[in-house]
Structure 1
């Protein structure tokens, strides 16, 4: 079956042919782009004509970093992102417990609280959560995903009891002032280490599959035709493989295997260009070297503008691994032709990535194009961008930080100078580096239009502009979400632009982002998302 799209603005993201009048597709692929007359010459009696009615069509958006199964899991737990005070946070948890009556063996799992909204930016502690219940474990993740708060029952289950307990390397258990008694707030590996995560009971496979379907509906509603899961362990790999086997993936899903199982799942695959099986492929490995700037656990070379209470004036956050461990991991991936994705928010973490990856390349002697990815890269310096370009490291920037937390970063986390250099995408562009944009869902929803808006405007919620010289044009931002993202996945020959021979992955918008006033970009609506010629979302 052929389909012919016409009568709209068709932005191809192909520099040699930026816009066309019509597109013809067949069997999920683009077979002709060009003028209306050129394309209409190829239609036959069975060709379906699709009148765009003046709307704008782009290549389907490609998610360069998120956690789609985590988004699925958030659909089963308490969403606390709207809590504007500690009291409201507690009230929402109490309401959930009242309405759901958790049974023995079940946990109350929450996500998304933002302590910067609370008085004195205080995290809720076990003393707060114990007012909800002391009978059922409560575990609530911070919006950043790098800090959690728990009640006494959950602390007990996690092994943090009394004053003598072991904390996984790269983790911190916050304590009651003047003692070693846990106060319920856990940082990094104290709550993220695999041996801790497996203590928390998982939902059934059937429930997860249903929620993965709903998560895909969310992603496609934002114009995405390719999603990512950047935290795949053995269980999630089995889950996504099962979803693929059952033909329940309506979009492409790219998995990144977490550090401790990367080689087990990907060793001896032979090539960095891996193939999808029913829309799922496991592409690379994932590790993280520091934490979150808004949680003040990112690893910096210079102290935080306002250090957390109880820390010394030279507090710079901290790393999660030693150089040898990082270098050995990089070497093992390079030797097996596996791409690596590395979480680095602070510039000290970025230094470690650059230092260790360079050493790993030297020791392996590899010349293979593996396209390593620096995830977030929020505070990378100019000299680091030079080093990243030399090593072929792709930065994927989380520019929505400027909208959601920019004022906090300016006033408390980094101070004015560093806040104005957050996610320096233009600096990367000036070096002709391939870079992408992401929203790290479920930290924030995968709203690609908002990503364009924030890349172009770089405006905080108070109206402050952070880094005017780092603003992108609309077309530069679109390319970061399409063709650049395809390159990050070794898929630039099949995705990312509307060209003959590529997949028929499209998004249709109600307005042309190249013509809308910059302050109004975020108001553009996704009307339809098309994956390989099939509509997977329609407004």
Structure 2
């Protein structure tokens, strides 16, 4: 099938010819770009003409960090993101249980609660959740994904009963007052370690496959043609391979295998670049070195502006792993030519990443371009960016933090000085460091237009500008969501720009982001998403 898209503004993300008004596509590939007159001459009797009527085409957006299976799972569970108080939190849960009574053996699972919106920023505890039910386990993830609140029944299932229990390294079980009795709030590996994750029952395969279809529809509605899952274990790898075998993947999905399964799932192919099988590929490994800033579990070199209640004045968060374990993991991946993705929110965690990766490189002497990725890089310093440049580390920035939590970061988490340096994308650009943008879905939905808006404006919900000198131009933000992200996946020769020979992955917008007022970027609408020449979403 041949198609010609014409009579619009086509942003190619190719510096040699940044904007054209027509493109010829055949069999899912871009054949030629150019002027309307030039491209229309190439039509034949089998060519479909698509009149853009002034609309704008961009390369399909590429998600550089998220958890698409978790997004699929959220479609089966209760959403607490709209609760503005503990009372609303409990009311939403009670209503959900009334209308969706769990079957035998099932848990009540929820996500998205944000204690920064509650009075005194108090987390709901087991005493609150026990008001909903003491008989069915309840597990509710925080908006950050790094903390959860549970009821007494779930604590019992996790083994946190009484005052004598074991907590996995890198995890915290919060307690009632000065006692050792769990209060229901679990941090990091206390609920995220492999052995604890296995405690929570999983839905049926058919249910999960159905929800993966719906999750892809969500991603494509935001203009995404490539998504990621950064939490792949053996079960999720089997699930995505099954979806691929059944030809149920309409977008490309890039998997990152979590630390304990990376070498089980990924073999040394002699190159970090790997091929898709029916739109799925397992690309690299994933580990995390700290928690989240809004949960005040990120690992900093200087204390939090306002330390959490009960902590000392020099509280800086904490690490989740020791150097020796991190070095050994990095070494094993480097030896096998595998890319690593490392969760680092705090600058102490970033220091650990840089220190340990440098050591692992020295131990292996591998010269392969592995493109390691620092995920979030929220508080990365200027000197760290210099080291990252030297090591080839790609930062992927979560700039939506400025919109959703920027005021909280300014007033409580980091204070004015550090808040104004959150996610220093412009500093990375000045060093010619390849960087990308993400939204860590399901922490926030994969709204790429909003990511672009926040990178350009850096404005909080109160109107405060955090780091005016770190604002990107619109084209710089577009590149971070397209060609830079393709580079992160070793796919810059195949995707990320509208050029001859690349796949025909496009997103059609109602307006040109380069022409609208900067404050209105977030109002731009995705009208259509095209994957390899075929429409997969249309508004």
TM-score by length of 2: 1.00
Q: Deviations over 1:507-536 (max 9, x none)?
A: 000000000001110000000000000000
Aligned to 2:267: 267
Aligned to 1:354: 354
Deviation at 1:37, TM superposition (A): 2.1
State yes or no: 1:295 paired with 2:284. no
For residues 270 and 245 of structure 1, the distance between their equivalents in structure 2, rounded to whole angstroms, comes to 25
For residues 103 and 524 of structure 1, the distance between their equivalents in structure 2, rounded to whole angstroms, comes to 42
Deviation at 1:267, TM superposition (A): 2.2
For residues 389 and 537 of structure 2, the distance between their equivalents in structure 1, rounded to whole angstroms, comes to 37
Aligned to 1:281: 281
Query: Is the CA contact 2:345–2:379 (under 8 Å) kept in the aligned structure 1?
Result: yes
For residues 101 and 198 of structure 2, the distance between their equivalents in structure 1, rounded to whole angstroms, comes to 23
2:358 aligned counterpart, secondary structure: helix
- Map 1:321-332 to 2 at 5 A: 321-332=321-332
Aligned to 2:93: 93
For residues 522 and 528 of structure 1, the distance between their equivalents in structure 2, rounded to whole angstroms, comes to 17
Query: Is the CA contact 1:80–1:112 (under 8 Å) kept in the aligned structure 2?
Result: yes
For residues 426 and 387 of structure 2, the distance between their equivalents in structure 1, rounded to whole angstroms, comes to 16
Q: Deviations over 1:5-39 (max 9, x none)?
A: 00000000000110112100000000011112221
For residues 273 and 267 of structure 2, the distance between their equivalents in structure 1, rounded to whole angstroms, comes to 14
Aligned to 2:501: 501
For residues 97 and 61 of structure 1, the distance between their equivalents in structure 2, rounded to whole angstroms, comes to 37
State yes or no: 1:403 paired with 2:403. yes
Aligned to 2:212: 212
Aligned to 1:530: 530
1:366 aligned counterpart, secondary structure: coil
For residues 482 and 330 of structure 1, the distance between their equivalents in structure 2, rounded to whole angstroms, comes to 27
- Map 1:31-180 to 2 at 5 A: 31-180=31-180
Q: Which 10-residue stretch deviates more, 97-106 or 522-531? A: 97-106
State yes or no: 1:443 paired with 2:443. yes
For residues 262 and 30 of structure 2, the distance between their equivalents in structure 1, rounded to whole angstroms, comes to 35
1:332 aligned counterpart, secondary structure: helix
Aligned to 2:233: 233
2:285 aligned counterpart, secondary structure: strand
For residues 499 and 208 of structure 2, the distance between their equivalents in structure 1, rounded to whole angstroms, comes to 36
Query: Is the CA contact 1:298–1:318 (under 8 Å) kept in the aligned structure 2?
Result: yes
Deviation at 1:268, TM superposition (A): 2.4
Query: Is the CA contact 2:508–2:528 (under 8 Å) kept in the aligned structure 1?
Result: yes
1:136 aligned counterpart, secondary structure: coil
Q: Deviations over 1:30-83 (max 9, x none)?
A: 001111222122111110000000000000000000000000000000000000
For residues 22 and 310 of structure 1, the distance between their equivalents in structure 2, rounded to whole angstroms, comes to 62
Q: Deviations over 1:191-211 (max 9, x none)?
A: 000000001000000000000
Q: Deviations over 1:231-281 (max 9, x none)?
A: 000000000000000000000000000000000000223320100000000
Aligned to 1:379: 379
For residues 269 and 287 of structure 2, the distance between their equivalents in structure 1, rounded to whole angstroms, comes to 19
Deviation at 1:103, TM superposition (A): 2.8
1:285 aligned counterpart, secondary structure: strand
For residues 251 and 516 of structure 1, the distance between their equivalents in structure 2, rounded to whole angstroms, comes to 29
Deviation at 1:128, TM superposition (A): 0.4
Give the gaps of 5 or more residues in structure 2.
none
For residues 47 and 101 of structure 2, the distance between their equivalents in structure 1, rounded to whole angstroms, comes to 55
Deviation at 1:392, TM superposition (A): 0.0
Query: Is the CA contact 1:104–1:136 (under 8 Å) kept in the aligned structure 2?
Result: no
For residues 165 and 21 of structure 1, the distance between their equivalents in structure 2, rounded to whole angstroms, comes to 65
Aligned to 2:183: 183
For residues 3 and 101 of structure 2, the distance between their equivalents in structure 1, rounded to whole angstroms, comes to 51
Query: Is the CA contact 1:111–1:142 (under 8 Å) kept in the aligned structure 2?
Result: yes
For residues 335 and 394 of structure 2, the distance between their equivalents in structure 1, rounded to whole angstroms, comes to 20
Q: Deviations over 1:446-503 (max 9, x none)?
A: 0000000000000000000000000000000000000000000000000000000000
Aligned to 1:453: 453
For residues 436 and 78 of structure 1, the distance between their equivalents in structure 2, rounded to whole angstroms, comes to 31
Aligned to 1:198: 198
For residues 388 and 519 of structure 2, the distance between their equivalents in structure 1, rounded to whole angstroms, comes to 32
Q: Give the ranges of 4+ consecutive aligned residues of structure 1 lying more than 3 Å apart after TM superposition.
A: none
For residues 415 and 277 of structure 1, the distance between their equivalents in structure 2, rounded to whole angstroms, comes to 47
For residues 522 and 227 of structure 1, the distance between their equivalents in structure 2, rounded to whole angstroms, comes to 21
State yes or no: 1:10 paired with 2:10. yes
1:494 aligned counterpart, secondary structure: coil
TM-score by length of 1: 1.00
For residues 102 and 482 of structure 1, the distance between their equivalents in structure 2, rounded to whole angstroms, comes to 42
State yes or no: 1:246 paired with 2:246. yes
2:455 aligned counterpart, secondary structure: helix
Aligned to 1:513: 513
Give the gaps of 5 or more residues in structure 1.
none
Query: Is the CA contact 2:406–2:466 (under 8 Å) kept in the aligned structure 1?
Result: yes
Q: Deviations over 1:158-199 (max 9, x none)?
A: 000000000000000000002000000000000000000001
Query: Is the CA contact 2:268–2:338 (under 8 Å) kept in the aligned structure 1?
Result: no
How many residue pairs end up in the alignment? 539
For residues 455 and 390 of structure 1, the distance between their equivalents in structure 2, rounded to whole angstroms, comes to 24
2:210 aligned counterpart, secondary structure: helix
2:348 aligned counterpart, secondary structure: helix
Q: Deviations over 1:93-127 (max 9, x none)?
A: 11111112213311000000000000000000000
For residues 271 and 429 of structure 1, the distance between their equivalents in structure 2, rounded to whole angstroms, comes to 27
- Map 1:422-437 to 2 at 5 A: 422-437=422-437
2:296 aligned counterpart, secondary structure: coil
